[in-house]
Amino acid sequence: MTETLIQGLLLGGLYCLFSLGLSLMFGVMRLTNIAQGDFIVAGGFAAICIAPLVGGSPLLAGLVLLPLAFGAGYLLQRGLLNRTLGKDPLPSLVVTFGLSIVIQNLLLEVFSASPRSLESGELSTGSLSLGGDIVVGTLPLLIFVAALAATVGLQLLFARTPLGRAFRAVSDDREVAELMGVRSAHVYALATALATVLIALAGLFQGLRTTVSPADGPLLLLFAFESVIIGGMGSFWGTFVGAMVLGVSQQVGFGFDPGWGVWFGHLVFLAVLVVRPNGLFPKTKG
């Protein structure tokens, strides 16, 4: 029982990283990124390409990948996604849906359909005893700690810093924020840049933990969606808790039958939607 709970929470850590970027982009500009899952997969493949160039160390690969992701996210928002924003949510949905298809096919073309993974060395085999007979893998624990740190970091960034204030102000009333001198195009691009860093980190971990293949994106998007919606739109802690609920539900399902895990997660997601349609910790108005 405890074992299942802990494994579920650790899995939730990965889902939290899948979904924070989605939550961030939606929170700041009401943009739903349909290509979220494919971005994660692309991040994983990018890490797989970078690792041999830096001597195979996943840590070094991450150090190279994350700044690249920041730049790519910034340019993507400035060059493309900013043009889709407006009162109507449809253009951004259509464009990110299109991006999703483009990325899947590009990855398929370049890397073929077979699953690939990132060599992690001792990281994937190492384990830690938490007292008693409970042992957790080093890598899942590292992922969980990263997810927790990312959630706390985002929360502090939004609550305490001038940039966080600008994020919330453009989210509330873009026109008035511009009156104060905020360049919303730039602020949106910074939000996407940050989201893309989290996405790349998620992709790196996914590649280390299991495998990535070009067709994985939609399922990862589904997990991210479920986490965000269980937690309630517009709250990072909500997303964190939503991811934990999803992770534990899937782990419980896996316990009954190896084929039931994902399905069990969907069931719990639907149950939460029925009982609390706005999620557990709704924050977003209007």
Structure tokens at 101: 């298809």
State the binding string over 223-252 for other proteins (x if CB under 8 A, else -). Answer: ------------------------------
End-to-end CA distance of the chain: 40
Asked whether position 257 contacts other proteins by CB under 8 A, the answer is no
Indicate the burial class of 43 (C-beta count within 10 angstroms; 0-12, 13-18, 19 or more): buried
CB of 119 to other proteins, least distance (A): 44
- Angstrom CA distances, 51 to 44, 45, 126, 207, stand at 11, 10, 20, 11
CB of 286 to other proteins, least distance (A): 9
Task: Closer to other proteins by CB, 30 or 165: give it.
Answer: 165
Task: Closer to other proteins by CB, 55 or 181: give it.
Answer: 181
Task: Closer to other proteins by CB, 141 or 169: give it.
Answer: 169
DSSP designation for 129: E
Residues 142-201 that bind other proteins (CB under 8 A): 162, 165-166, 168-169, 171-173, 175-183
CB of 183 to other proteins, least distance (A): 6
Q: How far is CA 180 from the centre of its chain?
A: 32
Rounded to 10 degrees, what is the CA torsion of 228, 91, 87, 180?
A: 80
Residue bearing tokens 């939290």: 16
Closest C-alpha to 268, from 228, 225, 223, 230: 230
Task: Closer to other proteins by CB, 18 or 281: give it.
Answer: 281
CB of 177 to other proteins, least distance (A): 7
Cα–Cα distance between 97 and 211 in angstroms, integer? 23
Task: Closer to other proteins by CB, 181 or 258: give it.
Answer: 181
Cα–Cα distance between 72 and 39 in angstroms, integer? 11
Cα–Cα distance between 32 and 25 in angstroms, integer? 7
CB of 159 to other proteins, least distance (A): 10
201 and 17 Cβ atoms separated by less than 8 Å: yes
Structure tokens at 162: 């001038």
Phi and psi torsions of 137, nearest 5°: -70, 145
Task: Closer to other proteins by CB, 142 or 170: give it.
Answer: 170
Task: Closer to other proteins by CB, 116 or 168: give it.
Answer: 168
Query: Residues interacting with other proteins, by CB under 8 A?
Result: 162, 165-166, 168-169, 171-173, 175-183, 285
